[in-house]
Structure 1
């Protein structure tokens, strides 16, 4: 059964952009005192520089006008098909039992916040497209930010071919900027880092894992280079280091998919020397990779290091202890730790999911089903978007084979009612063919 994935943080669309104008720290030179006898033939000294003005010639901001970025032909129509609706048509009869699902993508009567909170990625993608075609191309920062939201929505809809096509259109326009100095200025100062990550993922969606690793490695090299160029700007340096860490985690994730656990741990372990809670989180990540690789003693060493860190919350330490106990086959101890976590936070649905795994390890299938169903009834809109949760519940239903088909149909109705767009329907274990 799948363990729940740890939530990852999202990089903001409005990434800070370095200021192309540098203000010097030198104090202005005071003017020379006037002589006692005026000399009208003497050259007048230049006025002192005003604080805040540049005293050195800097590269001017290029005047760019890129109407190609907002052309309607840059975007493809989003299909009005929904995988959940397909499953409902096949498995739920009569039709009046099927929850109504809106695949039209209408957004005019809803705002941005509502669309995000309800996982309405189709409507949000169309909203951004309509906003883009009416945006002034000279506002390049806004245009590129909207482009990222558009592509991110398509990816959440799992329309990877369409995401790749529109991303290719975008970078075709950007790579065609002339002169080269203006193009370099856009890529170095304006282009959101998230769009570069999106471009790197095109290889992943195309089924080219080695090309994906190469693209991520190039991004990691850029993060290191930009971090070294920050000089005394501690804020920018910290930003590029954080981006490098995130790219490293993406590299490690791909290496884990390729079952190269050794390379994944070697990539992340050097990052554990950082200070603060980030280092503890990275150590926990490394330990969980070792658990998947079957190297429990190495995982235990990293968990022990995290357990001694006073800045790490007790809940995080208890979760690590529960995972280690499960790896050692100590299912009862793991369940006890996880139930204790629920006493302090009843909405810790990661713990709920892991409790079901621990109960299954003890052969308590019915108790595991009851635990997950209770969470589903308490907060359906929260848990139905968790694919590991749905996969584990569907698996437990199959183990209770007498009523598996009926239970999974009921689960499908609940998911269709609450999940929104973009769910990977394979987690329900209900084939469409």
Structure 2
């Protein structure tokens, strides 16, 4: 639910796994560019996390405020990378596909693989002991005793895994994974590789993309050197977590090679299709088809993120080839209302309202679909058509039944802004912030919207944003993209 913003007034970036966002690097820029470059802001929409559907890269249907242009009609309100970006905090109870079944004969034929190189300490780089949020606190909050105490030590020994995840303590989790890797027997290859994925995923959550790329490259250099070839094939087919292969493909995105990223994703998609066709085990077939469906969503979102005017029609055609088969294949989740809604929202991102409307209507007619999902779809479609009053009424009814739905709260603030109700929009967001700060301060679109409303409505916008900075520092944990606070760090 958004309208376009004049570039001269507001930060406007396209991400989603992120121009979800063009994801920023961890090091400061030391040279002055010849042209002014707008700082990055979070993508306007995130996809609400669902227990049965989650892209390797996740998000919720939150919107980001834009100031309407008087000369242009409303555009599609959904972010191009809305389905490739991860949520602020993962759902640790998410259903996952069962592992492939292995017969006793296969276990007996498994080659012995011993890789001591993947557990040596030199495979890892030190994690910085500071972050952009601490830099903002040092610059803007005085005296120092007003600054919330933040733990950047990465100590994990006195906490359990679940509490670290819920607190977004990615630095501590990354250190925990590293410490466990170097003390694990390299013969337990499945455990070691699982810990490697935890380590790399946490580094990416910290937005240390250069470090993530370096350590991932180190790992795959060892894996690609396995001899004999039969042992290497066994490791890649039977032991290596599929998520690590997706992570390796993601390295090209962080390096700015978006075409190479699409090529790598396409190779993984071909692998999924080949495995699904060649397997005789129903469990394996279902697992590979689900993986393929998620890859299709990531590829479609990436195509939308890369779109330019002369490629627009081609990209929509490519997206249709990727997405429509998912709706027609039961085993890939085509009957899932969440998947169909995700597909409809991607069509909405590309401005293909007719196709999006068709899929939203199918979800609305599905008796198994959750009413909250149906209402959110209606609000998104209404905003795409400029029907802001209907969208706000729908979201208010949704909140009457589910007051803790902070995605709806955020989207409601955008609908209110589009009707000129700035004060009401601020009140809605501030009420949510006070009622559950730990839930909302990790949502970057929420913080960006509130900061923007302060700038539009209040003569004391700076004071309000400083108060917001302190509140965010108390609750946000690690990895927040601080540009959402609209406070320059240099």
Tell me, yes or no, whether TM beats 0.5.
yes
Match for 1:110 among 136, 140, 159?
A: 159
Match for 2:380 among 302, 320, 323?
A: 323
Contact 1:14–1:192 (CA under 8 A) maintained in structure 2: no
Looking at structure 1, the residues matched to 155 and 326 of structure 2 have their Cα atoms a distance apart, in angstroms, of 45
Match for 1:94 among 113, 118, 143?
A: 143
> Structure 1 residue 285 and structure 2 residue 342: aligned?
yes
2:453: which partner in 1? 396
Q: 5+ unaligned residues in a row in structure 2: which ranges?
A: 3-42, 57-93
1:131: which partner in 2? 180
Looking at structure 1, the residues matched to 441 and 379 of structure 2 have their Cα atoms a distance apart, in angstroms, of 24
Given the superposition, is the C-alpha separation of residues 60 and 412 from structure 1 closer, same or farther in structure 2, using an over 3 Å criterion? same
Given the superposition, is the C-alpha separation of residues 165 and 120 from structure 1 closer, same or farther in structure 2, using an over 3 Å criterion? same
Looking at structure 2, the residues matched to 292 and 75 of structure 1 have their Cα atoms a distance apart, in angstroms, of 39
More displaced, 288-297 or 351-360?
288-297
Deviation of residue 398 (structure 1)? 1.5
Match for 1:163 among 206, 212, 218?
A: 212
Match for 1:258 among 306, 316, 321?
A: 306
Deviation of residue 396 (structure 1)? 1.0
Given the superposition, is the C-alpha separation of residues 19 and 123 from structure 1 closer, same or farther in structure 2, using an over 3 Å criterion? same
Given the superposition, is the C-alpha separation of residues 295 and 228 from structure 1 closer, same or farther in structure 2, using an over 3 Å criterion? closer
> Structure 1 residue 271 and structure 2 residue 326: aligned?
yes
**Secondary structure at 1:402 match in 2:** coil
Given the superposition, is the C-alpha separation of residues 160 and 278 from structure 1 closer, same or farther in structure 2, using an over 3 Å criterion? farther
2:35: which partner in 1? none
Looking at structure 2, the residues matched to 395 and 369 of structure 1 have their Cα atoms a distance apart, in angstroms, of 10
Deviation of residue 291 (structure 1)? 2.6
Given the superposition, is the C-alpha separation of residues 189 and 13 from structure 1 closer, same or farther in structure 2, using an over 3 Å criterion? farther
Contact 2:409–2:429 (CA under 8 A) maintained in structure 1: yes
> Structure 1 residue 249 and structure 2 residue 290: aligned?
no
Contact 1:122–1:421 (CA under 8 A) maintained in structure 2: yes
Contact 2:226–2:232 (CA under 8 A) maintained in structure 1: yes
Looking at structure 1, the residues matched to 48 and 473 of structure 2 have their Cα atoms a distance apart, in angstroms, of 23
> Structure 1 residue 121 and structure 2 residue 170: aligned?
yes
**Secondary structure at 2:185 match in 1:** coil
Looking at structure 2, the residues matched to 360 and 314 of structure 1 have their Cα atoms a distance apart, in angstroms, of 25
Match for 1:352 among 389, 409, 412?
A: 409
Looking at structure 2, the residues matched to 346 and 404 of structure 1 have their Cα atoms a distance apart, in angstroms, of 27
Match for 1:142 among 157, 182, 191?
A: 191
1:35: which partner in 2? none
1:235: which partner in 2? 283
Looking at structure 2, the residues matched to 347 and 94 of structure 1 have their Cα atoms a distance apart, in angstroms, of 35
What's the CA shift string for 1:327-357, capped at 9, x where partnerless? 2222111111101111111111111011001
- What TM-score do the two structures reach when normalised by structure 1? 0.88
Contact 2:341–2:360 (CA under 8 A) maintained in structure 1: yes
1:5: which partner in 2? 46
**Secondary structure at 1:252 match in 2:** helix
Looking at structure 1, the residues matched to 247 and 44 of structure 2 have their Cα atoms a distance apart, in angstroms, of 26
What's the CA shift string for 1:258-292, capped at 9, x where partnerless? 12551334321221113467543233223223333
Deviation of residue 294 (structure 1)? 2.9
> Structure 1 residue 223 and structure 2 residue 272: aligned?
yes
Larger Rg: 1
Given the superposition, is the C-alpha separation of residues 354 and 277 from structure 1 closer, same or farther in structure 2, using an over 3 Å criterion? farther
Deviation of residue 81 (structure 1)? 1.2
1:51: which partner in 2? none
Contact 1:4–1:353 (CA under 8 A) maintained in structure 2: no
Looking at structure 2, the residues matched to 422 and 278 of structure 1 have their Cα atoms a distance apart, in angstroms, of 35
More displaced, 413-422 or 262-271?
262-271
Looking at structure 2, the residues matched to 17 and 66 of structure 1 have their Cα atoms a distance apart, in angstroms, of 23
Given the superposition, is the C-alpha separation of residues 277 and 64 from structure 1 closer, same or farther in structure 2, using an over 3 Å criterion? closer
Contact 1:272–1:280 (CA under 8 A) maintained in structure 2: no
What's the CA shift string for 1:19-64, capped at 9, x where partnerless? 5536xxxxxxxxxxxxxxxxxxxxxxxxxxxxxxx5xx99711111
- What TM-score do the two structures reach when normalised by structure 2? 0.78
Deviation of residue 430 (structure 1)? 1.0
Segments of 4+ moved more than 6 angstroms: 10-15
Q: 5+ unaligned residues in a row in structure 1: which ranges?
A: 23-53
More displaced, 6-15 or 251-260?
6-15
Matches within 5 A, 1:15-164: 16-21=98-103, 60-164=109-213
Deviation of residue 298 (structure 1)? 2.9
Looking at structure 1, the residues matched to 96 and 392 of structure 2 have their Cα atoms a distance apart, in angstroms, of 42
Looking at structure 2, the residues matched to 342 and 118 of structure 1 have their Cα atoms a distance apart, in angstroms, of 25
Looking at structure 1, the residues matched to 366 and 480 of structure 2 have their Cα atoms a distance apart, in angstroms, of 37
**Secondary structure at 2:442 match in 1:** coil
What's the CA shift string for 1:278-332, capped at 9, x where partnerless? 5432332232233333333332222112211111122111111111111222211
> Structure 1 residue 406 and structure 2 residue 463: aligned?
yes
